[in-house]
């Protein structure tokens, strides 16, 4: 039904799946809304990502876009170089519990406490510090941990593991400007994230020449609304900086910078008539602007095969201050952190239409999802909108155009709970199904507890709806009680 390389699911795929779900009683009476994921499509996306970048790249999928454990687990099993990007200790914990290796977890957050950092250092994940003060904190923690490390007390014949095995980078704001959506652009002249390179180049250089353990560079330009050129400009600026700083580190006898993390941000299309930029085009543009970046990674002999094992090489931490201790370093690794590009087009939401209100000039379809699932759409509809499909209660596609437009209203107790206004659609009736397309990312992950509604059943499917798998069931009433007590 769908060409393997399509950038969105076909209406046929969605219709067939919905019909099968209705016929197979997957949509029960209480399932007033559900979220569906095409797991074949998701797998194709992930494989496309892996094949577009050089072997050995670590693809840390952004948990914030989709934290469903079953989906994280599904992704992890596709390839050993699938990791996750975690935005909080909670997300790091989700990843560890799902079975991600610490070395495949990237921990980014602009507000990490001392305890958060200690937890991450001990867990052995890759930490991207957000600012220079955080580097200072990390340095103190490492010193404390190194002091507490006593190899002689180990009963392990191979020797005790070093106090920590993770790696550390710093987020740098390349200051390439804002994209079309300001609230999700993070590389303007001012940003709350990272260290601005134009203002703090010298301090950044100083940090790289002070901390031997600082071996990573991280950037993230924005999420949706940033074109390829902006993303690539950011990479280029920091790639040049890395080369310059690496030379100086070499002279000092410091280990080389071995991690270059380009973040996420490749935009997707929420409209069927718009072709989104492709991953191939993005990768080609990176290659043009930073031609050494991909060779830098593949030049390492350990990274030549398809499933590289990260090489853990012990070198001496604090060797310049004369205190012997161990810390690990890795072979050069390029990291990506895509979220939206991976998940958005694989998922759709369906709500039963409970009522249709008919007012002069406008009809209102009353739905079971609103700002609880589509927060951005309700608050900023100019920048965030979807396409909708109407089916009857048996899953048959409705066509034609109603004479009056529709507002699509959610169930929450505030008047702004309208996911779309004045939409031209076929005639909608009570008990119809309304599908909200391209809703596989930044929807359920942003779920709001306002009004204490139960979270919907979430279903994965294969073969255009021939086979289903419940990814998460509709929330039980008791859970709500537990949440609030």
The residue written with tokens 């990502």 in the block is 49
**Please, what is the minimum distance in Å from the beta carbon of residue 139 to ligand PLP?**
22
Among 103, 174, 265, 456, binds ligand PLP (CB under 6 A): 265
Find, among 179, 177, 172, 146, the residue nearest to 160 by Cα: 146
In angstroms, rounded to a whole number, what is the distance separating the alpha carbons of residues 317 and 298? 26
Find, among 474, 422, 416, 424, the residue nearest to 450 by Cα: 416
**Assigned token pair, 377:** 């759409």
User: How remote is the C-alpha of 149 from its chain's centroid?
Assistant: 35
Q: Does 340 bind ligand PLP (CB under 6 A)?
A: yes
Region of 45-53, 197-205, 333-341, 345-353 interacting with ligand PLP (CB under 6 A): 333-341
Q: Does 339 bind ligand PLP (CB under 6 A)?
A: yes
Among 107, 341, 374, 406, binds ligand PLP (CB under 6 A): 341
Region of 139-147, 199-207, 338-346, 348-356 interacting with ligand PLP (CB under 6 A): 338-346
What is the total count of residues that contact ligand PLP (CB under 6 A)? 15
Q: Does 270 bind ligand PLP (CB under 6 A)?
A: no
Site for ligand PLP in 153-212 (CB under 6 A): none
Find, among 308, 312, 286, 288, the residue nearest to 298 by Cα: 308
Q: Does 62 bind ligand PLP (CB under 6 A)?
A: yes
Site for ligand PLP in 82-101 (CB under 6 A): 85
Provide the residue count of the chain.
485
Among 208, 338, 348, 406, binds ligand PLP (CB under 6 A): 338
> Of all residues in this chain, which one has the CB nearest to ligand PLP in the complex?
264
* Helices and strands, number each (H, E), in the chain: 13, 21
**Please, what is the minimum distance in Å from the beta carbon of residue 362 to ligand PLP?**
33
Q: Does 261 bind ligand PLP (CB under 6 A)?
A: no
Q: Does 220 bind ligand PLP (CB under 6 A)?
A: yes
Q: Does 108 bind ligand PLP (CB under 6 A)?
A: yes
Q: Angle CA(149)–CA(152)–CA(157) in degrees, nearest 5? A: 110
Instruction: Determine contact, residues 418/410, Cβ cutoff 8 Å.
Output: yes
Residues that bind ligand PLP (CB under 6 A): 62, 65, 85, 108, 220, 223-224, 263-265, 337-341
């Amino acid at each position: 039904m769908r060409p393997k390389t399509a950038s969105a699911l076909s209406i046929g795929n969605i219709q067939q799946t919905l019909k099968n779900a209705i016929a197979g009683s997957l949509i029960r009476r209480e399932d007033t809304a559900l979220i569906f994921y095409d797991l074949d499509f998701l797998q194709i996306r992930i494989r496309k990502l892996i094949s577009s970048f050089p072997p050995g790249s670590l693809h840390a999928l952004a948990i914030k876009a989709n934290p469903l454990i079953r989906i994280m687990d599904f992704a992890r099993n596709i390839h050993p170089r699938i990791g996750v990007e975690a935005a909080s200790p909670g997300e790091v914990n989700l990843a560890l519990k799902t079975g991600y290796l610490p070395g495949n977890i990237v921990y980014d957050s602009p507000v990490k406490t001392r305890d958060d950092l200690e937890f991450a250092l001990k867990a052995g994940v890759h930490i991207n510090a957000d600012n220079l003060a955080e580097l200072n904190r990390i340095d103190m923690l490492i010193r404390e941990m190194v002091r507490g490390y006593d190899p002689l007390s180990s009963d392990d014949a191979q020797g005790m593991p070093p106090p920590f095995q993770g790696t550390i980078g710093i987020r740098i704001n390349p200051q390439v400007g804002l994209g079309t959506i300001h609230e999700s652009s993070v590389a303007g002249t001012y940003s709350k994230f990272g260290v601005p390179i134009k203002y703090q180049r010298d301090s950044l250089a100083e940090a790289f020449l002070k901390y031997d353990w600082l071996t990573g560079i991280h950037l993230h330009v924005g999420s949706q609304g940033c074109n390829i050129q902006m993303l690539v400009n950011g990479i280029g600026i920091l790639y040049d900086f890395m080369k310059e700083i690496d030379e100086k580190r070499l002279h000092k006898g410091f280990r080389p910078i071995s991690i270059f993390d380009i973040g996420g941000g490749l935009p997707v299309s929420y409209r069927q008539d718009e072709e989104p930029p492709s991953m191939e085009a993005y990768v080609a543009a990176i290659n043009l602007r930073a031609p050494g970046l991909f060779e830098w990674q593949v030049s390492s002999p350990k990274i030549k095969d398809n499933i590289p094992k990260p090489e853990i090489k012990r070198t001496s931490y604090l060797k310049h201050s004369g205190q012997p201790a161990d810390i690990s370093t890795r072979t050069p690794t390029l990291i990506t952190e895509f979220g939206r590009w991976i998940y958005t087009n694989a998922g759709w939401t369906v709500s039963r239409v409970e009522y249709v209100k008919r007012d002069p000039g406008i009809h209102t379809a009353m739905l079971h999802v609103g700002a609880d699932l589509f927060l951005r759409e309700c608050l900023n509809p100019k920048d965030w909108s979807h396409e909708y499909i109407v089916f009857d209660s048996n899953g048959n596609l409705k066509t034609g155009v109603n004479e009056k437009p529709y507002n699509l209203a959610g169930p929450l107790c505030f008047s702004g709970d309208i996911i779309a206004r004045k939409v031209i659609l076929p005639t909608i009736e009570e008990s119809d199904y309304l599908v909200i397309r391209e809703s596989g990312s930044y929807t359920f992950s942003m779920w709001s507890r306002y009004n204490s509604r139960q979270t919907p059943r979430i279903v994965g499917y294969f073969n255009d709806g021939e086979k289903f798998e419940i990814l998460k069931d509709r929330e039980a009433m008791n859970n709500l009680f537990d949440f609030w007590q």
